[in-house]
């Protein structure tokens, strides 16, 4: 296993990474994004030199920054419309299928946050997706590579993981407060680095289910020997790469000061309801729920339903999409008034529910439940190593 791991590592070390490692070995690490105390940074490194380490295995730390940069430049800028556009160009080396996986993973971020990944046209600062499994940390200016590859680094959550680095996030288990939540088993660690950093945690909790969290056996020296053990309950799952957690979404929205009402429902079944239910829902709200069940179709049912009635449901409405975007095909078009509503089934493993209200009359809202129906056999990219 050790040998296999080393082989994997070699496999993953592309020339640019080797250069990066050499830079680290041969020269002093340099400061990365010396962010100001005033800005919100979840996981922004703003470290003394000695605290920077190669440990963030898949993060390329930039060296040779000339002078202190304003932290705002580590974040992607927000345009007038409140959206944070991140231009992306995917190398022509990727197949159509791989492109569709990448597009799907990025779409989830675009749907749930104010960060919108857009096709690059002529923008100067942009992400260039090439083969590998790494990312720079935050926006570095100009063209910045993000490495992704099939059979190792292309699960939905793995794609989001690398992109999250480019948005400015470090690994969850590197958070300043991690020792309260996990124990690092140093004697089992073969490679990588499990240091912690003086992160700003945005007032949001530690998240075992983050796509930014390493798995229990990542970089282990032998099978069955965990490198990270959650405390106090060692059986809490860590290292999922199925997709953004609710807190991942909340952290992106907080770091980028987005005003988004969105949640992820990642369990095989559950329920959700309008804000304040059964008290009246708020005026002027727009909320999204992304239901995501791995390799299964989704069955959605409204248990109660009471929305303001209007012609064409132009005031308050529910709308359900067959996919993870408002551009996905519509399963249930704008619906309002009192129920009952027809049940809906998504043809794939994601479904998006939108609930919009206008500025006047409100009502009690709705409560809905969902479950999985019909397993679908989709070959999913898996068996990845996390770098």
Ligand X SMILES: *[C@@H]1O[C@H](CO)[C@@H](O)[C@H](O)[C@H]1NC(C)=O
Say if residues 116 and 110 touch (Cβ distance below 8 Å).
yes
Per CB under 6 A, 116 contacts ligand X: no
Q: Which residues of 180-205 are buried (b: 16+ CB within 10 A; e: fewer)?
A: ebbebbeebbbbbebbbbebbebeee
C-alpha 373/C-alpha 54 separation (Å) is 44
Residues 283-312 touching ligand X, rule: CB under 6 A, are 283
Interaction with ligand X in 63-102: which residues (CB under 6 A)? 89, 91-92
Catalytic residue, chosen from 56, 98, 162, 354, is 162
Task: Map residues 10-49 to x or -, x wherever contact with Zn ion holds by CB under 5 A.
Answer: ----------------------------------------
If residue 273 lies in a helix (H) or strand (E), which one and from where to where?
Answer: strand 270-273
155 binds Zn ion (CB under 5 A): no
Binds 58: which of ligand X, Zn ion, none (CB < 5-8 Å by kind): Zn ion
* Alpha helices (H) along 124-215: 156-167
Out of 12, 44, 52, 58, point to the residue binding Zn ion (CB under 5 A): 58
Q: Contact between 360 and ligand X (CB under 6 A)?
A: yes
218 lies in the site for Zn ion, by CB under 5 A:
no
Nearest distance, CB of residue 280 and ligand X, angstroms: 4
Q: How open is the CA angle 176-178-181, to the nearest 5 degrees? A: 155
Q: How far is the CB of 282 from Zn ion (least distance, A)?
A: 37
Per DSSP bridges, beta strands 228-230 and 182-184 are antiparallel
Alpha-carbon gap, residue 363 to 278, rounded angstroms: 9
CA–CA separation, 183 and 271 (whole Å): 33
Ligand-binding annotation for 161, yes or no, is yes
Is 165 annotated as ligand-binding? yes
Clarify whether 162 is annotated catalytic: yes
Q: Is the peptide bond between 112 and the residue preceding it cis, with omega within 30 degrees of 0? A: no
- The residue among 147 and 239 lying less far from ligand X, judged by its C-beta, is 147
Backbone dihedral angles phi then psi of residue 131, each to the nearest 5 degrees: -75, 135
Q: Does 280 bind ligand X (CB under 6 A)?
A: yes
Cβ-based nearer residue to ligand X, 227 or 308: 308
Report if residue 282 touches ligand X, rule: CB under 6 A. Answer: yes
Quick one: 251 or 319, whose CB is closer to Zn ion?
Answer: 251
Residue 295, helix vs strand vs coil: coil
**Tally of CB atoms within 10 A around 241:** 21
67 binds, among Zn ion, ligand X, none (CB under 5 to 8 A by kind): none
The Cα–Cα gap between 148 and 163 comes to: 10
Q: Does 172 bind Zn ion (CB under 5 A)?
A: no
* Binding residues for ligand X (CB under 6 A): 89, 91-92, 119-121, 280, 282-283, 360, 362
Catalytic (active-site) positions? 162
Binding-site residues for Zn(2+), in ranges, read 161, 165, 171
């Amino acid at each position: 296993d050790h040998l296999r791991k080393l082989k994997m590592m070699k496999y993953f070390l592309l020339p640019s990474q080797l250069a990066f490692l050499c830079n680290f070995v041969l020269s002093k690490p340099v400061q990365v994004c010396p962010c100001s105390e005033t800005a919100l940074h979840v996981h922004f490194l703003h470290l003394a030199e000695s605290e920077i380490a190669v440990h963030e295995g898949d993060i390329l730390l930039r060296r040779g920054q000339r002078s202190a940069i304003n932290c705002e430049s580590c974040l992607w800028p927000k345009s007038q419309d409140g959206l944070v556009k991140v231009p992306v160009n995917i190398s022509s080396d990727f197949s159509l299928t791989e492109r569709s996986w990448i597009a799907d993973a990025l779409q989830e971020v675009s749907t749930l946050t104010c960060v919108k990944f857009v096709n690059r046209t002529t923008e100067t600062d942009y992400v260039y997706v090439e083969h590998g499994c790494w990312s720079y940390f935050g926006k570095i200016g100009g063209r910045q590579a993000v490495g992704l590859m099939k059979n190792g680094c292309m699960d939905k959550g793995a794609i989001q993981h690398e992109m999250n680095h480019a948005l400015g996030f470090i690994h969850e288990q590197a958070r300043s407060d991690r020792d309260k939540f996990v124990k690092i088993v140093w004697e089992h660690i073969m490679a990588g680095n499990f240091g912690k950093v003086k992160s700003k945690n945005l007032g949001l909790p530690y998240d075992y289910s983050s796509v930014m969290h390493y798995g229990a056996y990542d970089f282990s020296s032998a099978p069955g020997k965990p490198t990270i053990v959650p405390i106090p309950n060692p059986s809490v799952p860590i290292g999922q790469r199925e997709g953004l957690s609710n807190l991942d979404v909340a952290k992106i929205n907080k770091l980028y000061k987005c005003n988004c009402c969105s949640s992820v429902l990642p369990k095989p079944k559950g329920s959700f309801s309008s804000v304040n239910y059964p008290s009246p829902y708020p005026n002027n709200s727009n909320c999204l729920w992304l239901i995501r069940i791995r390799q299964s179709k989704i069955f959605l049912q409204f248990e109660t339903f009471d929305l303001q009635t209007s012609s064409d449901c132009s005031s308050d409405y529910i709308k359900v999409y067959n996919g993870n975007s408002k551009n996905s095909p519509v399963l249930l078009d704008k619906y309002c008034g009192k129920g009952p509503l027809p049940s809906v089934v998504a043809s794939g493993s994601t479904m998006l529910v939108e609930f919009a209200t206008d500025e006047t009359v409100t009502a009690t809202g709705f409560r809905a439940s969902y479950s999985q129906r019909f397993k679908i056999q989709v070959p999913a990219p898996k068996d990845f190593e996390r770098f």
